[in-house]
Chains A and B, each alone.
Chain A
Amino acid sequence: MDDKYVLQLKNISKEYFGNKVLKEVNLNVKAGEIHALVGENGAGKSTLMNIIFGMPVIHNTGGYTGDIIFEGQKVDTKSPKDALNLGIGMVHQEFMLLPGFTITENIKLNREITKHNVISRILGYRLKSLNVEAMRRDSQKALQKLGMNVDDWLPIAGLPVGYMQFVEIAREIDKKNIKLLVFDEPTAVLAESEAEKLLDAMKKLASSGIAILFITHRLDEVLAVADNITIMRDGEQVSQMKREDATLAKLAQLMVGRKIERIVHEVRESNKNDEIAMTMKNLTVDMPGEAVKGIDLEIKKGEILGIGGLAGQGKIGIANGIMGLYKAAGEVYLDNNKLELNNPRKAIKSKLAFVSEDRRGVGLLLDTSIEMNIVITSMQIQNRFLKGLLGIKSFNLKDDKAIRNWSLKMIKDLDIRCTGPTQITRRLSGGNQQKVCIARALTLEPEVLFVSEPTRGIDIGAKKLVLDLLVKLNRELGMTIIMTSSELGELRSICDRIAIIYNGKLEGILEPTDSDVDFGLAMAGKYSSKEVV
């Protein structure tokens, strides 16, 4: 029975430093089958693929438990080369193509066909001449299998994205022994028509006997091509079904549903007469990977607004665009005043503050003291924490005493665990680093606070503390908080309203108490078009 399957994953589990990211996942793929793997970010899909493919990141962090059975034999892939030798291929999201090489040269990268010449018999195999005709024949065969009719000697640079994707695939199927092909979000960068062609090609490959594992979050694609569907959530495989049994709503709900523990017990009624703190009109942001393509949104004064959505759909781009970190266009109004975009200084001067999702990259000066990290923005933009030199004001020296007093206060108020205000932030735990970032934002005394991924990389205990802090700021100081997060759970636990972003646009605004199905559909881009039940 078992040898019908090309790949069987039995009880695969993986821990990253005590954090269980995969919990006994089971998956089976037959030859010629298209098996879709569906789930939110953080569900564990990439980790699972890394294990199959033998990526070093798995082995360097303690390996995995469970069995991988390939064509009936137990295997343990210790490197991508092992996976390749077994016949597992992967079409990555980021193309591994060399722009200056032709299509053929890319398809045959490091597997070129060579023939001996006089010199190579003496000096070794590396000096064998390239057999270009043979290489071209092979690549033409591979391209044809995909239905591509293109000159194989064209350079990659200049080809449309759809073609490049196909060349990636051609490279994999040119490998003679390919038995299982993994597609990781292949249609993410493709236009609709290109995506259709890709799905056709996928079906063609499956019919030739190759097993296909198809990772995606685009639910309609799943319904279009998959034979079997596995849904993952929080590292567990929550369901497996045949295509005949699947519907959009079912998939959405399974992807998203979880028990929510709502921190805030009173649900504040939304009031049509509430003051508006910020209005966005047709906001577009050019942030690579998180592009915003036109959002209209009104944010009420004193609310906690959540912004959610899958990775790459644009939710992260909103705050980054308004605060001037990435190129933005459109109109943003604060209390009827137009905010100048693409200008971090102006944004901060307009009483906005931002706690970035990239804590270590953008949020902190890692080798600088806690106290300087807290005061620096206020010093530079609001001219606080400065004193004169020998009575001359314009010298603008940093006022060590004022800085020290303030940072001690912040450390106490926010309970930042550290050895003192002079400790460098690199040494702090994730949660405490986050608190330093929040402290810096608070020092600015903003009216609107953007917080992105507030609890990412923080252990469970500290997560709650950060969320409690945000609620406290909102209730006690009346601060409008805009919280962007990929964890729907935490959004639903403290926000008054939640806006879901799909494909760079606003898919819908939901109440935290709305159904799992609704959230799932919104995340999958199917909410705005659903029929109201």
Chain B
Amino acid sequence: MTISMNTQLNITNKKEKQKTSWMQELTNYSVPILFIIICLLGVYASKLNPVYIINEIVVRLARNLFLVLALIIPVIAGMGLNFAIVIGAMAGQIGIIAIKVFDMGGLSGFMMAVLISTPFALLFGYGTGLILNKTKGKEMITSLMLGYFANGLYQLVFLTFMGTIIPIDNPEIILSNGMGLKNALDLKFIQYSIDYILRPNIMGIKIPVVSLLLVVVLCFIIRFIVKTKLGQDFRALGQDINIAEVSGIKTDKTRLIAITISTVLAAWGQIIFLQNIGTLNTYNSHEQVGMFAIAALLVGGASVTKATIGQAIVGTLLFHTLFIVSPFAGKNLFGDSQIGEYFRSFIAYGVIALSLVLHAWQKYMNARNKEKLE
């Protein structure tokens, strides 16, 4: 690559160099490396059978990757980490509850759930996008608060309206007093509907081919979108929203599209998740979804401004490995598996906190370099 002008331009000192600060390098690589070390230590301390671990990893990858991938597009579009995928997960659960009410099982039940949840997810995504457009610059705290708020609304609907305003009286679904959904809905009727379609057993490891196929398809879809005009607009937004605006890109509308896509993917991802778990904890299943998915993405080396498919995959792998081994490691090291569980909560929160701090620090340093006030 030769850089030369016909008429010899001297490269002067007045370069507007965007220094890739050491902080950015740190964020990119050291987090996954740190995690690999912690995981290896954890695996060793847990004294678990490697085949068991790998089986668990495969299952969890198939189960959780879809949700993690749903986070990528908002990051590209400059909207940061979408803490509001919780809302998409809730839409997915509406689909699941619907098929439970209609008592449709198996693969057709799964498809039905997807079908029912989609319009809800579109609506919720649109609403989320509208609110986030009102709080540009504070998307992350807003989506966090929005997630909690929506959780309140969700509980309102499913705790009080079910059985009363919405007439359902299936004892498997409604609480004994006639109002509100049961705390846990049994989903055996669709459990493994996707997973078990094709499950070859390779060296003792059972691989749920179709679920993984769905994830692969999503990866290709995301790559496709990024290479279209829409993807280019996302990338422009993600770098500088003002320049994008001045160039004529409809920023508000594009951001809406980004969040809606993320919400819909989250809905479908939650359905895939639940079909593997087999039980719907009506009031809790979705709560940790946002946090775990985001933590997994960050563990893979992603940041508030940059996320790739590779990082999603690596991150989910490492994060969930830690999940598997922590309780056992805790028991072996401290005699208390509870410590292991608290440890993995701490890691999940901690890795998000670390990523937020590094991102905010860098943002502040950049702003300071532009406007030096002592």
Q: Interface on A for B, CB 8 Å cutoff?
A: 80-81, 96-101, 105, 109-110, 112, 114, 117, 119-120, 125-130, 147-151, 154, 157-164, 189-191, 193-194, 197, 200, 286-288, 324-327, 342, 344
Q: Kindly report which residue of chain A lies nearest to residue B224, judged by CB atoms.
A: A119
Interface window among B45-53, B79-87, B138-146, B231-239: B231-239
B202 at the A/B interface (Cβ < 8 Å)? Answer: no
Residue of A nearest to B305 (CB): A100
**Are B232 and A161 in touch, CB under 8 angstroms?**
no
Do A99 and B18 have beta carbons less than 8 Å apart?
yes
Residues B232 and A105 in contact, CB atoms below 8 Å apart: yes
The residues of B that contact A158 with a CB separation of less than 8 Å are 15, 17-18
Whether A162 pairs with B9 at a CB distance below 8 angstroms is yes
State whether A160 touches B5 (Cβ < 8 A).
no
Apart from A130-B229, A189-B14: 8 A-B pairs, beta carbons within 8 A: A98-B236, A127-B230, A128-B228, A160-B12, A164-B16, A193-B10, A194-B12, A288-B370
Of residues 1 through 15 on chain B, the ones whose CB sits less than 8 Å from some CB of chain A are 1-7, 9-12, 14-15
CB distance from A105 to the nearest CB of B (A): 7
- What residues of chain B lie closer than 8 Å to A190, measured between beta carbons? 14
Q: Indicate if the CB atoms of B12 and A342 lie closer than 8 Å.
A: no
Contact present for A126 and B9 (CB under 8 Å): no
In the complex, what's the smallest C-beta–C-beta distance from A159 to chain B, in angstroms? 8
- CB contact under 8 A between A286 and B372, given known A158-B18, A194-B12, A197-B5: yes
A110, closest chain B residue (CB): B247
B224 touches A161 (CB 8 A): no
With A127-B228, A154-B1, A327-B374 already in contact, the answer to whether A109 and B11 are too (CB < 8 A) is: no
B372 CB contacts on chain A under 8 angstroms: 286-288, 326-327
Q: Please give the distance in Å from B270's CB to the nearest CB on chain A.
A: 24
Query: Provided the pairs A81-B248, A96-B246, A119-B224 are in contact, do residues A109 and B236 lie with their beta carbons within 8 angstroms?
Result: yes
Bound CA span A99–B4, Å = 20
Indicate if the CB atoms of B15 and A161 lie closer than 8 Å: yes
Contact B6 A80 (CB under 8 A): no
Closest 9 CB pairs of A and B: A157-B18, A126-B230, A191-B12, A110-B247, A98-B239, A109-B247, A160-B11, A127-B228, A160-B15
The reply to whether A112 and B229 form a contact with Cβ atoms under 8 Å apart is yes
Q: Which of B210-230 contact A (CB under 8 A)?
A: 224-225, 227-230
Q: How far is the CB of A327 from chain B (nearest CB, A)?
A: 5
Q: Which of B4, B14, B235 contacts A161 (CB 8 A)?
A: B14
Q: Which residues of B contact A80 (CB under 8 A)?
A: 246
Residues of A within 8 A of B236 (CB): 98, 101, 109-110
A-B contact pairs, 7 of them (CB 8 A): A80-B246, A110-B248, A130-B228, A149-B6, A160-B12, A163-B9, A190-B14
- The answer to whether A126 and B228 have CB atoms under 8 Å apart is yes
> What chain A residues lie within 8 Å of B370 (beta carbons)?
288
Chain B residues 231-258 with CB under 8 Å of chain A are 231-233, 235-236, 238-240, 243-244, 246-249, 257
Q: Tell me the minimal C-beta distance from A261 to chain B in angstroms.
A: 38
Give complex CA distance A119, B239 in Å: 26
Number of residues of chain B lying within 8 A (CB) of chain A:
42
B103 on the interface (CB 8 Å rule)? no
A125 to B18, CA, bound (A): 34
Q: CA A522 – CA B156 in complex, angstroms?
A: 74
Contacts of B338-374 to chain A: CB distance below 8 A:
370-374
Q: Is the CB of A126 within 8 A of B229?
A: yes
Query: How many angstroms from the CA of A161 to the CA of B12 in the assembled complex?
Result: 8
Alpha-carbon separation in the docked complex, A278 to B247 (Å)? 49
Q: Which residue of B lies closest to A84 (CB)?
A: B248
Q: Given contacts A119-B224, A149-B4, is CB(A193)–CB(B9) below 8 Å?
A: yes
User: A109 CA to B225 CA in the complex, in Å?
Assistant: 17
Which residues of chain A have C-beta atoms less than 8 A from B371's C-beta?
A: 288
Across-interface contacts of A160 in B (CB, < 8 A): 9, 11-12, 14-16
B73: shortest Cβ distance to chain A, in Å?
13
Residue pair B229, A98 in contact (C-beta under 8 Å): no
Complex CA–CA separation, A154 to B4 (angstroms): 13
Say how far A276's CB is from chain B's closest CB, in angstroms: 27
Complex contacts, A99 vs chain B, CB 8 Å: 18, 239-240
CA distance A129 to B229 in the complex (A): 6
CB distance from A322 to the nearest CB of B (A): 13
Q: In the complex, which residues of chain A have a beta carbon less than 8 angstroms from the beta carbon of B18?
A: 99, 157-158
* Residues of chain B lying within 8 A (CB to CB) of residue A119: 224
The chain A residue sitting closest to B246, CB to CB, is A96
> Which residues from chain A contact B235 at a C-beta distance below 8 Å?
100-101
User: A112 to chain B: which residues have CB within 8 Å?
Assistant: 229, 232
* Cβ–Cβ contact A101 & B247, under 8 A: no
State A64–B228 Cα separation when bound (angstroms). 41
Q: Determine the residue in chain B with the shortest Cβ distance to A155.
A: B18
CB distance from A324 to the nearest CB of B (A): 6
Q: Which residue of A lies closest to B240 (CB)?
A: A98
Contact present for A127 and B3 (CB under 8 Å):
no
Which chain A positions have C-beta within 8 A of B374?
324-327, 342, 344
Measured between beta carbons, the chain B residues less than 8 angstroms from A129 are: 227-228
Task: Name, among A109, A148, A151, the residue most crowded by chain B CB atoms within 10 Å (CB to CB).
Answer: A109
Q: A96: which B residues are within 8 A, CB to CB?
A: 243, 246-247
When distances are taken between beta carbons in the complex, the residues of chain B under 8 Å from A161 are 12, 14-16
Instruction: Contacts A98-B240, A194-B12, A326-B373 given; indicate if A114 touches B228 (C-beta within 8 A).
Output: yes
Chain A residues near B249: list those with CB within 8 A: 110
Instruction: Say whether B5 contacts A101, CB under 8 Å.
Output: no
Q: Which residues of A contact B3 (CB under 8 A)?
A: 150-151, 154
Q: Once the chains bind, are B225 and A127 in contact (CB under 8 Å)? A: yes
Q: Which residues of A contact B247 (CB under 8 A)?
A: 96, 109-110
Q: For the complex, what is the distance from the CA of A119 to the CA of B2, rounded to whole Å?
A: 39
Residue numbers in B under 8 Å from A81 (CB-CB): 248
Q: CA of A158 to CA of B16 in the docked complex: distance in angstroms?
A: 7
B58 to chain A, nearest CB (A): 31
- Judging by beta carbons under 8 Å apart, are A325 and B373 in contact? yes
Closest to B257 in A: A126
Contact status A197-B9, CB under 8 Å: yes
Chain A nearest CB, measured from B21 CB (Å): 12
> Which residue in A101, A110, A193, A194 is a CB contact (below 8 Å) of B239?
A101
User: In the complex, which of the residues B5, B225, B373 contacts A150, with contact meaning CB atoms closer than 8 Å?
Assistant: B5
Whether the pair A191, B232 counts as a contact (CB closer than 8 A) is: no
A130 touches B227 (CB 8 A): yes
Complex alpha-carbon distance, A148 and B7, angstroms: 9
* B14: chain A residues within 8 A (beta carbon): 160-161, 189-191
Cβ–Cβ contact B233 & A126, under 8 A: yes
In the bound complex, what is the Cα–Cα distance between A128 and B233 (angstroms)? 12
B159 to chain A, nearest CB (A): 38
Provide the bound-state CA to CA distance between A120 and B229, in Å.
10
Cβ-closest chain A residue relative to B10? A193
Q: How many angstroms between the C-alpha atoms of A127 and B254 in the bound complex?
A: 12
> How distant is the Cα of A194 from the Cα of B6 in the complex, in angstroms?
13
Q: Which residue of A lies closest to B228 (CB)?
A: A127
